Structure 1
Amino acid sequence: MQNKGIVRVFAILFGLVCIYQLSYTYLTYTKEKEAETYAQQKYPAEDASKLREIAQRQYLDSIGKEEIFAGISYNDAKDKELNKGLDLKGGINVILQISVKDILKGLANYSKDPSFNKALLATDETQKNSQNDYIDDFFKEFEKIPDAKFASPDIFANKNLSDDITYDMTNEQVKPVLKKKINESVTSAFEVLRKRIDKFGVTQPNIQRLGESGRILVELPGAKDVDRVKKLLQSTAQLEFWDVYKMEEVFPFLSAANNLLKEREEQQKKTADKVAETSEIASDSTKVDSTASKEDAAIADLLEDAEDSTNLEKAVNPLFDLIAGPGRQSGPVVVSVAIKDTAQFSAYLRDPQVRALLPVEQRYAKFVWGKQVKDVPFLDLYALKGNRDNVAELSGGVITDARQEYNQVGQVTVTMQMDGKGAKKWEEMTGRAFSQRSQIAIVLDDVVYSAPGVTSGPIGGGRSEITGDFDITEGQDLANVLRAGKLPASADIIQSEVVGPSLGQEAIDSGIMSFIIALVLILIWMIFYYGKAGAFADVALVVNILFIFGVLAGLKAVLTLPGIAGIVLTIGMSVDANVLIFERIREELTKGKSQKEAIKDGFSNALSSILDANITTGLTGLILLVFGTGPIKGFATTLLIGIATSLFTAIFITRLFIDGYGKNGKELAFSTSMTKNLFKNVNIDFIVKRKVAYIFSAIIVLAGLGSLFTQGLDQGVDFVGGRTYTVRFAKDVVPTEVEKDLIAVFESAQAKTLGADNQLKITTKYKVNETGEEVDSEISNKLFSALKPYLTEGLSYEEFSNGDEDKQVGIMSSMKVGPTIADDIKQAAFWSVLGSLIVVFLYILLRFRRWQFSLGAVTAVFHDVLVVLGVFSLTWKFMPFNMEIDQAFIAAILTVIGYSLNDTVVVFDRIREFLGEHTGWPLRKTVNAALNSTLSRTLNTSLTTLLVLVTIFIFAVPLRGFMFSLIIGVLVGTYSSLFIATPVMFDTVSKVGLKEKEEKPKEDLVEA
């Protein structure tokens, strides 16, 4: 090897840089352990986890700027430590969809134009099964409407867009303007969210736009308060100031409304009684004639209506009977209603006949509920002085600053400062309220936070204050939202993942355990098989691990549980390079060459196979990185880094040790007494056995295809949409019993054991098409009610929904995927698999210069993928671990493709070499000899990789389905490289005129 000195210096320097990068992680770890010990000593009680968490955070805050080592503080180290993903640290990951529909409505000035609104409704339907952006589908739907024109004064040629869109513009001219405006709005939303998150207080938050789709990814490692995060992210911050009607001004309307409803329901009761009498006659007649007449159908409908109105029959005063809370004579609060009755009360007020009772001067009145106060079971109702345009006189756009403070009595408040325009309008409104002795309602997202009166005249300067029984956290969040600004459109959570810190710590423990055990097994095996040379390979392997983690830390990449699996798998595969080198050296020694020459030629001859094998695996990793999301990207990142570092350590580091050991004439055996003669003189006729292999593979593949078409696969929420929860119980539970109770609540649900018998993975598609905080809360409450018989007695809803850290029960993690993004994920998975096959076909064609080699490799890969899918389809219903088809499974499929190609390329490389060396041999003899010569390497690599995978399968419970697919993939990949890829290549080569006994020129089969 040339330039040994440069390689040695580079390796040492690179190793030192990696150690330096990882030192930050070590420093933060030591300080956080100190904080944990301090908190444990201060609050030793078992049920004081929240107090310990606060104490730990306070301790770290207090020492954050203190020097730990060489001028590095805890804050500095924390910023540069190795990032851990949600599955290792716990936290919240959401994908927000900024509503392009809302933006379009705003740009059109909330147009009532029929063509515009018809196109929006049609686009909503199209989007359910479309891969296009919302705006592109909107363009298509709009243009289906005859004579529809974007530049209409009733749509986009309005005063708000007068500088950009004129009446004479065509639809094609308007389109780029709309796209630009939408992009600006999404960018604005991104900045608003970024400002909110920066103030949230978690370390290493991540927020990024996902292409041009209007989707924004938000990752908050370590965040635990799920409800708080969702409110912070989804709040549009639509702040408005409205004049308010007094209670006595609205009461006459309420009284008239109550009387109208009362008369209506009395009439319904009379109708129901009459129908009940008629039904007896109708039921008698049905005994005689089973053919229902139109009159019978009408009676049945009336009966159904009567049954629906049973609750109304009991009401004496439909509206007034719903009023709760203390009675009031005056003030801005109209009435107070129990929370459970607010929906019914609102429905009464929206009734067209009821609203028609409003006096002319109140016809635009808006009825809005007040903010919910903790431990108070009712909400206050306010009547705002609305207008024809339903637009507030003063909005939150004038706010320049907002802060959480305390008033004179120590109550938490939020103070706001307005700009000049807002200050002038505020002074006008407060002056009017003072003179009329009325109130001004401060409304945020259609909720009245407070309705203060003005007691000392008009308020100048634009300073105002919001009160509303906040706690400190609510006050800080509200101030942050107002200061950051409002979202330009609603933001719906279309995908979310929540992982509790306990589950994260367990993932770290299982990941580290599998990592250490797998590493020890490989180190022992290499020494057992190759002796001292194996020990040198082990040293290179340890250096490789240092490089991988150092590069991850230096790039600020995120380490996830699939990422750890990727590293461990890389370790197993990196052994392959050393095995290839050592096997080639052994062959050269068998030929009688000196040790020095054998080492030189062994490294040289193995290089082509090593590069081809790693490049094909690297190509699948790149496709994984481009098309994958979330855990797939983490897996691909570590895989690609591992491939690069493995190549360097195997080719250069191992060579340094071997050359250094032998330079003084020391003999180095590349085997032990037990392995010296293994696989020598093996002469299996693989070509003769190919027909048996074809039949065997055909049976397996056809059985798998039959199962795929009949019972299919267990598709996870990644691909079909829905919600999934990991719930832990204090005692073991039976999944089938729990599932029955869940189905009674959700209509469709699944419950499967995940790991231990006291932990279930629960999946439901209930209201999968609906988004919003209310729907999430409703489903969480229903889940709590359904599981209550199995939960610890006394466990509260809050403890259940956030995962009780002290008792280690409740929801440990949750995930939601909307149907639209699920469809996108499925499409991306399909293209990633197809793309990898095309890329690999082209690469092998380029390297081996004959399409027969490419066909053999791709056939083997197709075979392997179908076998893995078939095995999953045949076994998922009875396997004792989760076998859902999700994004991680796609990562496994692509890894199987990479591994299978790795093995196949090594075999093909040896066939190409033998074809060049033995030009006089028949093709059958050449192929068989090449296969037999690589048998030692093939089995050795497969065995070490399987050792790794089985270790992870045993110890990393959350990854068992993922590992099972890889184990099947390695087994079938090893088989297919010998019995599918090579025979297919042999048969196609023979059929195009290369007869076995013909002696072909070297250049026909060997790379030029």
Structure 2
Amino acid sequence: MQNKGLVKFFAVIFALVSIYQLSFTFVTNHYEDKAKAFAGGDATKELLYLDSIGNQTVFLGQTFNEVRAKQIKKGLDLEGGISVTLQISIKDILKGLSNNSKNAVFNQALANAESKRQGNQTFLEGFYQAFEEASNGTVGLASPDIFANRNLSEITIGMPDSQVKTILEKKVTESVESAYRVFRERIDKFGVTQPTIQLLGNSGRILVELPGAKDIDRIKNLLQSTAQLEFWETYKNNEIRGFVYAANSYLQTTEKSEEPKKEVVEASAESSEIDAILGGVKKDSVAAEPTSRGPLLDLMIGEGNPEGPIVAYFHTKDTIKVNTYLKRQDVRNLLSADKKYARFVWGKPAKKNEGVVELYALKTNREGIPPLSGSVVTGAQDEFDQFGRPVVGMQMSPKGAKIWEELTGKAFREKSQIAIVLDNVVYSAPGVTTGPITGGRSSISGDFTIADSKDLANILRAGKLPAGADIVQSEVVGPSLGQEAIDAGMLSAIAGLIIVAGWMAFYYGRAGWYANVALLANLLFLFGILASLGAVLTLPGIAGIVLTMGTAVDANIIISERAKECLRKGMSLPETIKESYSWQGAMRPIVDANVTHILTGVILFAFGAGPIKGFATTLLIGIGTSLFTSIFIARIFMDKDIIKGRTLAFCTNITKNWFTNFNFDFLKVKKVTYGISAVIVIVSFVSFFTNGFDEGTDFVGGRTFQVRFDQPVEASEVGDHLGDVFGVNVEAKTFGNKEQLKITTKYKVDEEGAAVDKEVNEKMYEGLKSYYKNELTYIEFVNTGEGKSLGIIQASKIGPSMAKDVKQNAYWAVLGSMVAIFIYLIISFRKWQYSLGAIISVAHDVIFVLGIYSLTYKIMPWHMEIDQHFIAAILTVIGYSMNDTVIVFDRVREYIAGKTKGDFNKIVNDSVNTTISRTINTSVTLLMVLLIMFIFGGDSMRGFVFAMLIGILVGTYSSLFLATPVLVDTMPRKDKEAIEKRHQEAQEELAAENA
């Protein structure tokens, strides 16, 4: 090996840098362990401890906060926390850019845009298609009542649509980037350690990951709040009450009344509590006998003060029905002419009387534009009022201060209230008792906690979103589940390392130990790179590392097998090492095999999301580090043996004759293997169309909950019961042990908002609380507290549009990897027959694995869903199957170019037989590692690993019994004859030389 000194230098430097990068993780873990010991299980106390040492110098002149920022970041599945994908409403952005156009074609196109959007297309592309169909060439985007308006000076009337599209795309991109900045500001002030926020291409989606976050409802509210702050005048109760009673009387004639209640308001402690908190329920409203007052009044639980702004009180669960009544045009026609634009808005639910909400009536106009909006707010901070209650102080711009003075002056004169409305919710509606408010200084009060006031001030400071933001995908992981994942991952990694190292030492002797040293160096370099890049380590990422251990020795296996062949030919050890590490020896097949592997990894990284990117990242880095360590580190020790004159057999006494005289006619049985493969493919396709697949929520949308109980439960019984609670089908499966279920439902999956998520959680709690031996509160059931081991330990949601894109990405990932490998093999082998054999082999493997999943998902004791993790497994199978096939094909190419005796079939058979030792060794080490992962890797990884176990087995079979026969059968006869003739001439020349 040339430049041995340089290689050693870089290896040492690389090792030192890796150790340096990893040291931050060890130091951070040390202080976090101290914090846990100090806190004794109190999460708040633990955070306070870590905050207290944040600015203390703890390592190499750096503070604890600086050190913690450089540690290996753990993903949500290891740390716990929340991950959400937010979809910025491009529809809202386009509406704003059009100045809320009333053009019928424009609004029809907006309504149809989502249905026109194909998988992976943006909403904007769907809108263009819908607009072209709706307009049919009669209206252009640059019409004066669409985009050629005062909001878009860049667009002139009659401008070609192609130019308008360019401008719109730029404006939409700017709006999404603005939303990104707003989220960044909000999250930075939220106080979560190592948050992640990133734009996802040009889809208008933003990924937010908050490791360690526990207050899920608070976070969702923080993220989804658009910060549309408005100030409105309100109607007094006595000004709007007549309409309420008129609407109720009208509805009595058109609607079936609610079942009469036993009491309108029970004369109990609850009544007095509502009376005290909400301003008084009339005592004469208590009825001794159940009577119906009409559809609207039956839902009311009390009226507000006649001079106050509250119209009435309702239960939160009844707000949807009340909205339906009040938005009906025939009901709104009952409003008097001076109130026809009245807007009914709900208040912020009171914490002291949870489940009760106030209804307000706002004085609006035809345009729906408030007298004053949040755009005038220049500053906001959380503070306390004179009674010590949390409020949010605001400072307005000079222009806003002037309007605010006029607005408050009018309210003072008329003894009315001003509603402070944030994102269509009334936070407070104070009166003005001391005259007009000057200077633009004011405050928002409400039933706030300290956290509420901090979040609201944060939102107002960060600014408003340019459009609504809906959570289209979310995942919540409890920290106890994360710790279990870490434990399972570490156990499988250590066991895998021991097994691989043991096998290499057993099979290759001292050369195997050199490979093990290279493997340890590989792991050090791999973790060092992950730490230096700031990569996020996930459970699939750990799986990628474990798989890297199984394949890191593959290059050493190829080199060792080549070395044994050279030694059998009588070469000396220096000649053997030189030949084995040459391009004509092991290097070419190693490069070909790893390039195909890299191609699948790159495609997986490009099309995957979240943890799957983590898997692809560790896999790609692992390929690079394993190549370096296998080729350079192991050889350093071999060269030292040459210098010291030691022998190196590349085997042990037990294994030295294994597979040396292996001679099986693989082509002779090709009709049998073709038949077996044909049956497999036919049975699989029949199952695809009859049995289908267990498609995960990644592909079809839905909500999934992993729920842990304190006693065994029956999955079918729980599923049926929850189906009654939700009113839709709910699927429950045992997940691991009988105390744990995976529950999936599509209930309101297409509806967005924190309120919907909370409703689903509440229904889930009501449906499951009876299955616990010991009573569990709602907070305990939902919140992912430290050490939490019962209730919802993991939850995820993916909306239909997101699921459509994920599914489309999966198709492209699988097809793209096959096309990329096909092209590479044509370039590398110069004959399409090699590519065809490899692709048919891989397609066979994919169909086989899909067939197994389709046939058995109903009977297997672990989940076998077709989801993103499964696609990652399939792409990994493609990479390893191709790896096997390429090694065989490289030997075929080498033998064809050489002077091997026999016809074409014999050349191919000899090629397969001489590589059988490498094929079996690589497959055995990989299968042993996968088996360890399957047993110890945890329930969430079992289906993922099972796909790879089956894939590696069938991939080994197809490389030997399918790929090479296809190559032989598709090779033109004239090419075979030319090869055989050349080999015959070479043999005759050799015989003549020997004679």
> Shorter-chain TM-score category?
over 0.9
Please show how residues 908-919 of structure 1 align to structure 2 within 5 Å: 908-918=889-899
Structure 2 counterpart of 1:878, one-letter code: I
CA distance in 1, matches of 2:946, 2:330: 64
Structure 1: runs of 5 or more not aligned: 41-48, 270-312
1:525-580 alpha-carbon deviations (Å, 9 max, x no partner):
11111122211111111010000000011111111111111111111111111111
Q: CA deviation at 1:788?
A: 2.7
Aligned residue number for residue 153 of structure 1: 144
The question of whether the paired residues in 2 share the 8 Å contact of 1:21 and 1:554 is answered with yes
Aligned residue number for residue 456 of structure 1: 434
- 3-state SS in 2 of match to 1:954: helix
Quick check: 746-755 or 898-907, which moved more?
746-755
Change (3 A) 1:265 1:704: closer
The question of whether the paired residues in 2 share the 8 Å contact of 1:621 and 1:639 is answered with yes
The yes-or-no answer on 1:21 pairing with 2:1 is no
Aligned residue number for residue 974 of structure 1: 956
The question of whether the paired residues in 2 share the 8 Å contact of 1:922 and 1:996 is answered with no
Change (3 A) 1:263 1:666: closer
Change (3 A) 1:333 1:897: same
Identity of matched residues, %? 55
**TM-score if structure 2 supplies the norm length?**
0.92
The question of whether the paired residues in 2 share the 8 Å contact of 1:728 and 1:759 is answered with yes
CA distance in 1, matches of 2:140, 2:853: 52
CA distance in 2, matches of 1:465, 1:499: 37
Aligned residue number for residue 93 of structure 2: 103
The question of whether the paired residues in 1 share the 8 Å contact of 2:257 and 2:295 is answered with no
Matched residues, number:
949
Aligned residue number for residue 195 of structure 1: 185
Q: Which of 103, 115, 126 is the equivalent residue of 1:137? A: 126
Change (3 A) 1:452 1:996: same
- 3-state SS in 2 of match to 1:92: strand
Quick check: 391-400 or 983-992, which moved more?
983-992
Aligned residue number for residue 166 of structure 2: 176
Please show how residues 425-824 of structure 1 align to structure 2 within 5 Å: 425-604=403-582, 605-744=585-724, 745-803=726-784, 808-824=789-805
- 3-state SS in 2 of match to 1:940: helix
Structure 2 counterpart of 1:801, one-letter code: V
Aligned residue number for residue 247 of structure 1: 237
1:321-356 alpha-carbon deviations (Å, 9 max, x no partner):
544347634222233333344444444443444433
The yes-or-no answer on 1:985 pairing with 2:945 is no
Aligned residue number for residue 61 of structure 2: 71
CA distance in 2, matches of 1:244, 1:829: 52
Change (3 A) 1:491 1:602: same
Structure 2 counterpart of 1:946, one-letter code: L
The question of whether the paired residues in 1 share the 8 Å contact of 2:236 and 2:306 is answered with no
Q: Which of 385, 398, 401 is the equivalent residue of 2:376? A: 398
CA distance in 1, matches of 2:182, 2:256: 53
Change (3 A) 1:696 1:405: same
- 3-state SS in 1 of match to 2:232: strand
Aligned residue number for residue 84 of structure 1: 74
CA distance in 2, matches of 1:203, 1:950: 35
Structure 2 counterpart of 1:971, one-letter code: L
Q: CA deviation at 1:625?
A: 1.4
CA distance in 2, matches of 1:710, 1:426: 67
- 3-state SS in 2 of match to 1:758: strand
- 3-state SS in 1 of match to 2:606: helix
Aligned residue number for residue 980 of structure 2: 998
Structure 2: runs of 5 or more not aligned: 260-289, 987-995
Quick check: 172-181 or 183-192, which moved more?
172-181
1:479-500 alpha-carbon deviations (Å, 9 max, x no partner):
1111111111111111111111
Aligned residue number for residue 368 of structure 1: 345
Aligned residue number for residue 284 of structure 2: none
Q: Which of 895, 901, 904 is the equivalent residue of 2:882? A: 901
Q: CA deviation at 1:991?
A: 3.9
Aligned residue number for residue 313 of structure 2: 336
- 3-state SS in 2 of match to 1:324: strand
1:595-617 alpha-carbon deviations (Å, 9 max, x no partner):
22222222221111111111111
CA distance in 1, matches of 2:220, 2:403: 33
Structure 2 counterpart of 1:101, one-letter code: K
CA distance in 2, matches of 1:151, 1:771: 32
1:494-519 alpha-carbon deviations (Å, 9 max, x no partner):
11111111111110000000000010
CA distance in 2, matches of 1:581, 1:380: 76
- 3-state SS in 2 of match to 1:141: helix
CA distance in 1, matches of 2:309, 2:607: 56
The question of whether the paired residues in 1 share the 8 Å contact of 2:304 and 2:311 is answered with no
Structure 2 counterpart of 1:482, one-letter code: L
The yes-or-no answer on 1:37 pairing with 2:27 is no
Structure 2 counterpart of 1:621, one-letter code: G
Runs of 4+ in structure 1 deviating by more than 6 angstroms, as ranges, are 263-269, 1001-1004
**TM-score if structure 1 supplies the norm length?**
0.91
Aligned residue number for residue 281 of structure 1: none
The question of whether the paired residues in 2 share the 8 Å contact of 1:631 and 1:887 is answered with no
CA distance in 1, matches of 2:788, 2:616: 36
CA distance in 2, matches of 1:116, 1:710: 43
Structure 2 counterpart of 1:714, one-letter code: D
1:39-65 alpha-carbon deviations (Å, 9 max, x no partner):
11xxxxxxxx5xx11000000000111
- 3-state SS in 1 of match to 2:897: helix
Change (3 A) 1:614 1:243: same
Change (3 A) 1:349 1:893: closer
Q: CA deviation at 1:967?
A: 0.8
Structure 2 counterpart of 1:905, one-letter code: V
Change (3 A) 1:505 1:354: same
Change (3 A) 1:345 1:599: closer
Q: CA deviation at 1:743?
A: 2.7
CA distance in 2, matches of 1:1003, 1:452: 103
1:286-332 alpha-carbon deviations (Å, 9 max, x no partner):
xxxxxxxxxxxxxxxxxxxxxxxxxxx95235544544347634222
CA distance in 2, matches of 1:839, 1:153: 48
Quick check: 666-675 or 318-327, which moved more?
318-327
Quick check: 782-791 or 968-977, which moved more?
782-791
Change (3 A) 1:341 1:632: closer
- 3-state SS in 1 of match to 2:759: helix
1:357-411 alpha-carbon deviations (Å, 9 max, x no partner):
4333333222222211113142222222212211100000111111110111100
Change (3 A) 1:551 1:443: same
Quick check: 455-464 or 376-385, which moved more?
376-385
Q: CA deviation at 1:68?
A: 1.5
Change (3 A) 1:798 1:974: same
Q: CA deviation at 1:262?
A: 5.4
CA distance in 2, matches of 1:375, 1:397: 32
Q: Which of 934, 947, 950 is the equivalent residue of 1:953? A: 934
- 3-state SS in 2 of match to 1:207: strand
Aligned residue number for residue 44 of structure 1: none
Q: CA deviation at 1:98?
A: 0.9
Please show how residues 289-304 of structure 1 align to structure 2 within 5 Å: none
Q: Which of 822, 826, 834 is the equivalent residue of 2:807? A: 826
- 3-state SS in 2 of match to 1:371: coil
- 3-state SS in 2 of match to 1:199: helix
The yes-or-no answer on 1:126 pairing with 2:104 is no
The yes-or-no answer on 1:350 pairing with 2:327 is yes
The question of whether the paired residues in 2 share the 8 Å contact of 1:401 and 1:483 is answered with yes
